[in-house]
Amino acid sequence: MIRKTAKFLVVFCLLSVVCISGAQADDNHMLPMLRMGVGARALAMGGAYVAEAHDATAGYWNPAGLADIECVSFTGMYAAEMSWDRTFNYFALGWTPSQVTNYGTFGITWLNSAIDEIYKYEGGAYLGTFKDQNNVFLLSWAFKNEFQERMFSFGFSFKVVTMDIDDWNETGFGGDVGIKFAVDRRVSLGLMVQDMGTKVANETVPTTVRVGMAIYPLGEDHCLVIPIDYATTRHRDDETFHLGAEYFWEFSENWGAAIMAGLNDGNFAIGTGLKVSSWFRFDYAYVTDKEEFLNENHRLSLSADF
């Protein structure tokens, strides 16, 4: 048993190195919204979520995690007090039609990012303001199966990107793919390749490779989780490390609370969560942007699992 686990870990690490080795080159800032992260819970844990994602947010973090949804899961996020008139909002839905027939799990994700009140000039003359708005839609599918007495999941997403800047607009397409492996009740591994071949107006969105591990020191109840991620982005020469933790207190079957904290490549994040009834959960995250001039801001999420 131990030898089999060790052998899988070696293969997993080698696969990760192969994917990561191709992720070095020139700088490319195309559509940074695709790399900002979603969900207050995930962001409060420093964006370390590749191996932990198991709800509707998995459509973004690792589509393989969608396979953990038992029936229906949804999450919505609002970003508050962002500087420079920026907005960033998100909604996702995951659905497993049947645990018996095992058709897999389907997901749909929507991200919206915009900057309002941009001044427009031509020849020195002021022509008013315009808006820069981007939308991303993900259509995902995931499948879960037992592998050597452990749970293995695979998922992928088809991505549609729209960009609308003043009177210019373009549409592009791309995809994500991910795997997730539950080594045992205390360790889960994840690998995600984001934006494979994503292009808009002949411009390529840089591919990001994320490798993660989620550790559950207290075992099966998962009341304590410590996720760790490493990410590298092609054409950005950018490597980031993410570390987080969450402790969840379950007061009763219908009530619980959580506290989360993390480091997003050295930037501190903290948050809290409240479980209301057996279905709903509210989460809050206080995050700081990587670029100092963008300052700190807040994320609010509502999620439900049925």
What pLDDT does residue 100 have?
57
Dig out the tokens for 257 from the structure: 């609370």
Helices (runs of H) and strands (runs of E) counted in the chain: 3, 16
Predicted pLDDT of residue 293: 44
Q: What are phi and psi of 61, to 5 degrees?
A: -75, -40
3-class SS of residue 226? strand
pLDDT of residue 13: 45
Give whole-number Cα distances, 66 to 18, 59, 70, 102, 175, in Å.
Answer: 25, 7, 9, 13, 16
pTM of the model: 0.85
Digit-by-digit pLDDT tens for the chain (306 residues) are 444 444 444 444 434 433 433 333 334 466 778 888 999 999 999 999 999 999 999 999 999 999 999 999 999 999 876 665 678 899 999 999 976 567 899 999 999 988 876 667 777 777 677 678 899 999 999 999 877 667 899 999 999 999 988 778 899 999 999 999 998 889 999 999 999 999 998 888 889 999 999 999 987 677 999 999 999 988 666 789 999 999 999 998 889 999 999 999 989 999 999 999 878 999 999 998 765 545 568 999 999 998
Q: Which residues pair with 95 in a beta bridge?
A: 72, 106
pLDDT attached to residue 83: 61
Residue 105 has a pLDDT of: 96
Q: What is the residue type of 159?
A: K
CA max distance for the chain:
73
CA distance 107 to 211: 22
Enclosing domain of residue 77: 2-305
**What is the structure's pLDDT at 236?**
64
Helix, strand or coil for residue 76? strand
The predicted structure's pLDDT at residue 288: 82
Distance between CA atoms of residues 30 and 137, nearest Å:
17
- SS3 of 13, please? helix
**Helix or strand or coil: residue 126?**
strand
Q: Read off the CATH number of the domain in which 285 is found.
A: 2.40.160.60
Domains: count for the chain: 1
